[in-house]
Amino acid sequence: MVTERGYRRLEEQGQLPPGPRWWPVVGNIFQLGWAPHESFAKLARKHGPIMTLWLGSMSTVVISSSEEAREMFKNHDVVLAGRKIYEAMKGDYGSEGSLITSQYGPHWRMLRRLSTTQFFVTSRLDSMQTVRSGCIDRMVQFIQDAGESGTKAVDVGRFFFVMSFNLIGNLMFSKDLLDPKSERGMQFFHHAGKVMELAGKPNVADFLPLLRCLDPQGIRRKTQFHVERAFEIAGGFIKERIGISMENGYTEEKRKDFLDVLLEFRGDGVEEPSKFSSRTINVIVFEMFTAGTDTTTSTLEWAMAELLHNPKTLNKVQAELRSIVTPDKKMEERDIENLPYLKAVIKETLRLHPPLPFLVPHMAMDSCKMLGYYIPKETQILVNVWAIGRDPKTWKDPLVFKPERFLEPNMVDYKGHHFEFIPFGSGRRMCPAVPLASRVLPLALGSLLHSFDWVLADGLKPEDMDMTERMGITLRKAVPLKVIPVPYKGWPVFGNMTFDLGTMPHRTLAGLRPKYGHIVWLNLGAIKTMYGPYWRILRRISSMELLVNKRINDTAPLRRKCVDDMVRWIEEDAAAALARGESGEVNMPHFLFCMAFNLVGNLMLSRDLLDSQSKEGHEFFDAMGKIMEWSGKPNVADFFPFLKWLDPQGYKRNMVRDMGRAMNLVSSFVEKRAQEGQIGKEKEMFLAGSETTSSSIEWGMAELLRNPELMRKAREELDRVVGPNRKVEERDMDELPYLQAVMKETLRLHPALPLLVPRNALQDTNFMGYLIPKSTQVLVNAWAIGRDPDAWEDPLSFKPERFLGSNIDYKGQNFELIPFGSGRRICVGVSLAHRVVHLGLASLLHSFDWELDSNIAPETIDMNERMGITLRKLVPLKIIPRKRIACE
Ligand code: HEM
pLDDT tens per residue, range 689-740: 777 888 899 999 999 999 999 999 999 999 999 988 888 988 899 999 999 9
Among 295, 388, 440, the mutation site with the greatest number of ligand 1 atoms within 8 A of its Cβ is 295
The residues that bridge with 484 in the sheet, in sequence order, are 455
Ligand 1 in reach of 300 Cβ (< 6 A) = no
Average pLDDT, the chain: 79
Q: What is the CA(102)–ligand 1 centre distance, in A?
A: 14
State if residue 288 touches ligand 1 by the CB under 6 angstroms criterion: yes
Q: For ligand 1, is residue 382 a contact (CB within 6 Å)?
A: no
Residue 292 CB–ligand 1 contact under 6 Å? yes
Ligand 1 centroid–CA 215 distance in Å is 28
When mean pLDDT is compared over 114-118, 487-491, 735-739, the highest value belongs to: 735-739
pLDDT for the residue 867: 72
Does 632 or 48 have the greater pLDDT score?
48
Q: Picking from 60-64, 135-139, 310-314, 585-589, which range would have the lowest pLDDT averaged per residue?
A: 585-589
Q: What is the pLDDT of residues 793-828, one digit of tens each?
A: 999 999 999 999 888 999 888 888 999 888 777 777
What average pLDDT does the segment 657-661 reach? Answer: 57
**CB atoms < 10 A from the CB of 590, how many?**
22
pLDDT for position 701? 95
Query: Is position 431 annotated in a ligand binding site?
Result: yes
Which residue's CA is the nearest one to ligand 1's atom 24?
292
CB-CB contact of 752 with 697 (8 Å): no
658 pLDDT band, cuts 50/70/90, is: low
pLDDT of residue 579: 86
168 lines ligand 1 (CB under 6 A): yes
Greatest mean pLDDT among 2-6, 210-214, 876-880 lies in 876-880
**DSSP 8-state secondary structure symbol assigned to residue 481:** P
- Say what the pLDDT of residue 531 is: 32
- Model confidence at 671: pLDDT above 60: no
User: Could you write out the three-class secondary structure of 359-386?
Assistant: ECCEECCCCEEECCEEECCCCEEEECHH
CB 705 within 8 A of CB 849: no
- Over 80: is that where the pLDDT of 50 sits? yes
Q: Does 655 score more than 80 pLDDT?
A: no
> In the structure, what pLDDT confidence band is assigned to residue 366 with cuts at 50, 70 and 90?
very high
Averaged pLDDT for residues 409-435: 92
User: ipTM > 0.90?
Assistant: yes
What is the SS3 assignment for 33? coil
Write the CB contacts of 167 (distance below 8 Å, at least 6 apart in sequence). Answer: 131, 132, 135, 292, 296, 440
Among 330-334, 625-629, 726-730, whose mean pLDDT is lowest?
A: 625-629
Q: Find the 186 Cα to ligand 1 centroid distance in Å.
A: 24
- Determine which helix (DSSP H) or strand (DSSP E) holds 483, and give its type and residue range: strand 482-487
The minimum-distance atom of ligand 1 relative to the CA of 361 is 15
Q: Of the ranges 48-62, 545-559, 628-642, 698-712, which is most confident?
A: 698-712
Between these two residues, 562 and 75, which has the higher pLDDT value?
75
Residue nearest to ligand 1 atom 26, measured at CA: 292
Q: Using a 6 Å cutoff on CB, does residue 365 contact ligand 1?
A: no
Lowest mean pLDDT: which of 33-47, 210-224, 548-562, 672-686? Answer: 672-686
pLDDT tops 90 at residue 622: no
CA–CA distance, 380 with 629 (Å, rounded to integer):
77
- Give the per-residue pLDDT at 34: 75
Work out the pLDDT band at 4, boundaries 50, 70, 90: low
Tell me the pLDDT band of 888, cut-offs 50, 70 and 90: very low
CA 825 – CA 756 distance, rounded (Å): 10
Chain centroid to CA 186: how far? 38
Gap from CA of 451 to ligand 1 centroid (Å): 29
Question: For the residues 277-299, what does the mean pLDDT come to?
Answer: 85
Report the nearest atom of ligand 1 relative to the CA of 429.
Answer: 41
The verdict on the CB of residue 381 being under 6 Å from ligand 1 is no
Query: Cα(849) to centroid of ligand 1, in Å?
Result: 83
pLDDT mean over 764-791: 77
Tens digits of residue pLDDT in 537-588: 434 444 444 445 555 677 788 788 888 888 888 888 888 888 888 888 888 8
Q: Where is mean pLDDT largest: 4-8, 468-472, 839-843, 876-880?
A: 839-843
Q: Which residues of 66-89 are buried (b: 16+ CB within 10 A; e: fewer)?
A: bbbbbbbbeebbebbbbbbbbbbb
Question: What mean pLDDT comes out for the span 464-480?
Answer: 86
Question: What percent of the chain is predicted at pLDDT more than 90?
Answer: 31
Q: Determine if ligand 1 sits within 6 Å of the CB of residue 424.
A: yes
Query: What spacing in Å lies between the alpha carbon of 48 and ligand 1's midpoint?
Result: 27
Q: Whose CA is nearest to atom 15 of ligand 1?
A: 360
The residue whose CA is least distant from atom 37 of ligand 1 is: 100
Check pocket membership of 99 for ligand 1, CB cut-off 6 A.
yes
